[in-house]
Amino acid sequence: MPSWLPGSYLLREFARHVVAIRAHDAEREIPVEKVDKSRWCCRGAGGELTVTATVYALDESVRGAYLDRRRGFFNGACLLLLPEGRENEPAVLDLVAPEDAACAAWRVATALPVADVDARGFGRYRAADYDELIDHPVEISDHASVDFEAGGVPHRFVVAGRFDSDLERVAGDLTLLCEAQVELFGRPPPFASYTFLGLAVGAGHGGLEHRASSSLIFNRDDLPKPGEAGVPKDYQGFLALASHEYFHSWHVKRTKPAAFIPYRLDRRNHTRLLWLFEGVTSYYQDLMLVRAGLIGVKDYLRRLGESLTRVYRTPGRFRQSIAEASFDAWDGLYKPDANSPNARVSYYSKGALTALGLDLTLRSLPGRGAVTLDDVVRALWQRYGLRDIGVAEDGFESLVEDVAGAGPGDFLAQAVYGTGDLPLGDLLGRFGLTLRWRAAAGPADAGGMAPPAESARLLVGLGARVRPSGDGLELVAVLDGGAAQRAGLNPADVLIAIDGLRVGENTLAKRLERYEPGERVAAAAFRGDELLTFDLELAPAAEDTIYLEIDPAAGVDAHARRRAWLGE
C-alpha cells in the first residue's frame, strides 16, 4: 500500500488502517505475512491469488477513505493494494452496490474511466496502470450534481453533504472559470472530462488535485444562497479553491518535478520545486477569478493584501527560503508546530508572492511588455507537461531565461533561494498601486483592507499568537523578537492576567489599549499546573497587516500596466 498520495506530501502510512488481510488461491487459504510497514507477502499460492483487506475508513478529508450511512468516499491509495512490480499493468475496479436499504439512493461519482456500469454507476471501472487507478477519488452517496461544458469537454460539479444553493448558478460561474484556464493553457484541455467532487461541511476548507477531477471540502454556507446576486466573500473562497485545484490539472498533475517521475509511494520524494507548483497555482487561482470576470479589481486587491499579510506575519521567512521549504515539506509544512512561524515559510504564500513579483517584473521590463508569466507557464506546459517530461530542479530558471531573457534572473534567485523580503512595494508601484502597512485591528483581522477609521489603534502587542483555553489564553506561537519571547513566555503557556487583571479572548485587546510601548507590566501564566509571573515589557504593535490602494497620482504608464494585468 502507498505510504502517501500525490499532492499531499506527508507519509500517512495507509497500511496502518488495514485491520484484516487474508488470501486464498483456488484450493486453499494462503498465509499472509507482513514484511514491512506497507508490504505483505504470500508464499505458496498456485494460480490466481485473491487477497481480501478490511480497512478502517473514518477519514473524511480529501486525502482519506470514509464510510458511514450517509456516504462513502475513497482515494485508491487508502484502499487498493498493488501487486508489487505490476505498477504498469492495467487494473479494473469493481464497485458493488451495498444491499442496505439506507443506501438505495446511492450513486457513484468518479472520473475513473468506465468499463461497464449500471445506471447508478456501480460496476466495473478500468485504469491503464496503478498510478491512474489511485488518481481518481470515488464518491458514493445520494449527492447532488450539475453538468456543464468548458473548453469543449463535459464537466460535472458533485456536492455531497447538506447545502442550500442554486447549482445551475454555480455551474455557470465554474464554466467561466474553467474556460479562462483552458484559454491560458490552450485547447483542448488534457482530459476527456472533468469532475469537481465537492463535500459541503459545517467548517472546513481544503482540496486535492487529480488528473481529471479534484476533491473539494468547503463550508456549506460558502455556496451562494438561491437567488443571491454578486459574489460574496465566502463564495470567492470557494471559487478560489476550485480555481486552484483545476489549475493543477496542468500544473503539477502533468507539468511536474522530475523528482516525481515516477512517484515513489513508499518514501518521501524531495524536490525544491513545490513553490513553483503550489505558489504559481496560488497566484493564478485568484488571477483567474478576475480574468473570468467573477471578481473585480477591488476584491482581487483585498485577497492579495491578505496573502501579503500571511507572509509578513511569519518571522520564519527570514530563516528559510521557499526552495528549502519545498524540500522540507514532508516534515515542515505538513508537520507544523509551535515554532513553525519562527522557523519556516509557506511555499504556498511566499511562492504566490514570488509568482506575483516575477509576473510584475516581466510586465514592467523595458521593451519586453509582451512577455508575462502566462508565457512562462504556457512554455512549461508545452515543453514539459504536454511531453511527459519532468522539470529538473534548476529547469525553471533556464526556462524563464529562454522565454524572457536574463532580466528576471536576479529577482528569481533572490525570491527562491533568498530569505530577504521581496521588493513588492516598488514593483506594485509600477502598476499604480501603493502597498500600505498597519497594525492588526484584532485577532480576526486578516489584512487586505484599510483599517476602519473609528477603530481604536492598538499601540502595543504581545508578539504571540493566542487561542482561548479555559479561563485564559494559550500561547499557540511565541514570535521571534516579540514581547512575550523576551519576557520568557513559552508556547503552550496559558496567560491568565496582565497587571493583576484577568485577560481572555474578549478582554486582551481592551487591556492592552491602556498601555504605551515600553511600559512594563506583570503577566501571570500557567505552565502546566505551575503559576508563573513574567516581567513583560510591552513592545510597539507590529505593523504586519497589509492592504493595497490604487494611487491616483501614479503616471499614465503605471495605470495602463495595471489595466493590462488586471483589467479595468
* Residues lying near Zn ion in the complex (CB under 5 A): 278
400 with 358: CB under 8 angstroms? yes
Q: Closest distance between Zn ion and the C-beta of residue 278, in Å?
A: 5
Q: Which is nearer to Zn ion, 278 or 299 (CB)?
A: 278
Q: Closest distance between Zn ion and the C-beta of residue 204, in Å?
A: 16
Half-sphere exposure of 10 (CA within 13 A, CB side): 11
Q: Closest distance between Zn ion and the C-beta of residue 207, in Å?
A: 7
Q: Closest distance between Zn ion and the C-beta of residue 238, in Å?
A: 15
Q: Closest distance between Zn ion and the C-beta of residue 135, in Å?
A: 15
Residues in Cβ contact with 423 at an 8 Å cutoff, skipping those fewer than 6 apart: 357, 411
Q: Which is nearer to Zn ion, 278 or 359 (CB)?
A: 278
Beta-bridge partner residues of 126: 92
Q: Which is nearer to Zn ion, 60 or 278 (CB)?
A: 278
Beta strands at 153-160 and 194-201: parallel, antiparallel or unpaired: parallel
Cell numbers placing 381? 506546459
Q: Which is nearer to Zn ion, 173 or 278 (CB)?
A: 278
Q: Which helix (H) or strand (E) holds 415?
A: helix 409-417
Omega prior to 262 cis, within 30 of 0: yes
- Report the C-alpha gap between 301 and 307 in whole angstroms: 10
Residue number closest to Zn ion, CB atom? 278
- Report the C-alpha gap between 59 and 370 in whole angstroms: 47
Q: Which is nearer to Zn ion, 222 or 278 (CB)?
A: 278
**How remote is the C-alpha of 505 from its chain's centroid?**
28
Q: Closest distance between Zn ion and the C-beta of residue 444, in Å?
A: 25
What single-letter DSSP state applies at residue 8?
B
Q: Closest distance between Zn ion and the C-beta of residue 427, in Å?
A: 24
Instruction: State the residue for C-alpha cell 514570535.
Output: 479
Q: Which helix (H) or strand (E) holds 434?
A: strand 433-438
Q: Closest distance between Zn ion and the C-beta of residue 156, in Å?
A: 21
Q: Which is nearer to Zn ion, 278 or 306 (CB)?
A: 278
- Report the C-alpha gap between 2 and 22 in whole angstroms: 19
What single-letter DSSP state applies at residue 445?
-
AA identity, residue 9:
Y
- Report the C-alpha gap between 215 and 137 in whole angstroms: 7
Q: What is the dihedral of CA 336, 337, 339, 345, to 10 degrees?
A: 0
Query: What count of other Cβ atoms lies within 10 Å of the Cβ of residue 219?
Result: 16
Q: Which is nearer to Zn ion, 215 or 309 (CB)?
A: 215
Q: Closest distance between Zn ion and the C-beta of residue 252, in Å?
A: 7
Q: Which is nearer to Zn ion, 236 or 545 (CB)?
A: 236
Q: Closest distance between Zn ion and the C-beta of residue 448, in Å?
A: 21
- Report the C-alpha gap between 27 and 50 in whole angstroms: 11
Q: Which is nearer to Zn ion, 180 or 512 (CB)?
A: 180
Q: Which is nearer to Zn ion, 207 or 357 (CB)?
A: 207
Q: Which is nearer to Zn ion, 169 or 210 (CB)?
A: 210
Q: Closest distance between Zn ion and the C-beta of residue 73, in Å?
A: 19
What single-letter DSSP state applies at residue 251?
B
- Report the C-alpha gap between 228 and 220 in whole angstroms: 15
Q: Which helix (H) or strand (E) holds 404?
A: helix 395-404
- Report the C-alpha gap between 14 and 27 in whole angstroms: 30
